[in-house]
């Protein structure tokens, strides 16, 4: 398991902004909020952001009916988040990974349509502790 990512101040702000957008169901905007910080970070912090970006993009694809895009990005996002500590950067990452994993299972079993769109609803990224 990798060490908890140390974040630059701008990254911490971007992480919080993306977290709020994700919780509001604004997946594309969450992706965008994290992307600039991702470009500046290195190591585990960059990996955390890349995983979150891919999950957000996967949720966006699920919401628009793009099953293949949702499956690919949710799976790759989970793969990036898997080795990180459960409380990486002050986030409740373990319950988030569990929720994403459950959504991926639903997406794998769902054709495009309302069931797939429901995958994108209600996902939250909480704070640790």
pLDDT tens digits, one per residue of 97-116:
999 999 999 989 888 777 88
**Domain-embedded: residue 71:** yes
Residue 75 lies in a domain: yes
> Containing domain of residue 91, as a range?
9-118
**Tens-digit pLDDT profile for residues 18-36:** 999 999 999 999 999 999 9
| 3 within a domain of the structure (yes/no) | no
Please enumerate in sequence order all residues whose Cβ is within 8 A of that of 54, keeping only pairs 6 or more positions apart, or say none.
73, 74, 76, 77, 80
Around Cβ 22, how many Cβ atoms within 10 Å?
23
Decide if 68 is inside a domain.
yes
Counted domains in the chain: 1
Instruction: Identify whether 102 is part of a domain.
Output: yes
Residue 123 has pLDDT above 70, yes or no: yes
- DSSP assignment, residue 122? T
Residue 5: pLDDT band with limits 50, 70, 90: low
Task: For residue 91, tell me if it sits in a domain.
Answer: yes
The CATH number that applies at residue 28 is 1.10.3450.10
Considering the domain boundaries, does residue 72 fall inside one?
yes
Structure tokens at 79: 């793969």
Average pLDDT over residues 52-69: 94
- Whole-prediction pTM: 0.93
Instruction: Identify whether 127 is part of a domain.
Output: no
Average pLDDT, the chain: 91
């Amino acid at each position: 398991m990798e060490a908890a990512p140390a974040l630059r101040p701008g990254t911490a702000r971007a992480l919080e902004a993306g977290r709020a957008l994700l919780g509001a169901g604004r997946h594309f905007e969450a992706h965008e909020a994290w992307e600039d910080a991702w470009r500046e970070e290195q190591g585990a912090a960059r990996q955390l952001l890349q995983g979150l970006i891919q999950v957000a993009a996967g949720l966006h694809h699920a919401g628009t009916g793009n099953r293949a895009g949702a499956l690919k990005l949710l799976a790759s996002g989970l793969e990036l988040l898997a080795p990180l500590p459960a409380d990486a950067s002050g986030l409740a990452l373990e319950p988030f990974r569990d929720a994403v994993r459950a959504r991926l299972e639903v997406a794998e079993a769902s054709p495009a349509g309302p069931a797939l769109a429901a995958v994108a609803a209600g996902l939250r990224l909480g704070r640790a502790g």
